[in-house]
Amino acid sequence: MSEIANSRAVIVSGGTSGLGLATAQLLAARGARVWILGSREQTVAAALDKLNIVGGSACDAADESSVEAAVTHAVEALGGLDGVFVNAGVDGEDKNAMELSLDNFRRILDVNVLGAFALARASARVMERGSAIVINASVSGLRPEHGFVDYNVSKAAAITLAQSLALDLADRGIAVSAICPGYIRTPMTEPMLDDPERAAELLSLIPAGRFGEPVDVAELVDFLLSGRATYMTGSVLSIDGGRSV
């Protein structure tokens, strides 16, 4: 049983679907006090109907003041903060570099990098020693994927963000790690994985011979936030069926 059973207080951003929803569900089932963040009130409300957690709220992941207000609200409701899964993110345009829109590229960086930084920093300000932050990057930050310059760059930056924060927060006793999921079946990836030709192509790149499930990622996040991984900081952990080998 995870030490999260000791009722650790955790924020999960991007907690209304996919990896965030699965992680919030697993953490709560193991005793954590969980607060989810989402981009819209409607999706937060829909997720709360599926979860047995403390609560949730909407915020703009790319707006620092919105993020800080959301963290304050969450901490008040949770009675503290022991862990954060920085999971909110947006996908790339799936276009060749020569066709990319700079406006969309900036939006991806605003959410996936600056938004991740804003949430991690706001959380660290109220955390005590022994707390942990997990930033959701991607295998695409380790091995760039053709046609996703914007997303690849944002996730490579998210990895370096986690490592940099690990250095800056070490004296506070806060561990920071990045996880790099591969092809996990979520609402974001379903259009790609449900295409037989594309799915076969992707499966050929995965030694494990299968796509991941959200619970695979949730189990890793549970461990990193459990209090059993306090000496793991600055770590970059792939969870991709061997894709990045």
Per annotation, catalytic residue among 85, 151, 183, 211 = 151
- Round to whole Å and give the CA distance between 132 and 95: 35
Q: Is 183 annotated as catalytic?
A: no
Are 26 and 51 in contact by the 8 Å Cβ rule? The answer is: no
CA distance linking residue 157 with residue 193, whole number of Å: 25
Residues 6+ apart with CB under 8 A from 166: 175, 176, 177, 233, 234, 235
Cα-Cα end-to-end distance for the chain: 30
The encoded tokens of residue 40 equal: 């819209």
Rounded CA-CA distance 238/135 in Å is 12
Task: Please list the active-site residues.
Answer: 151
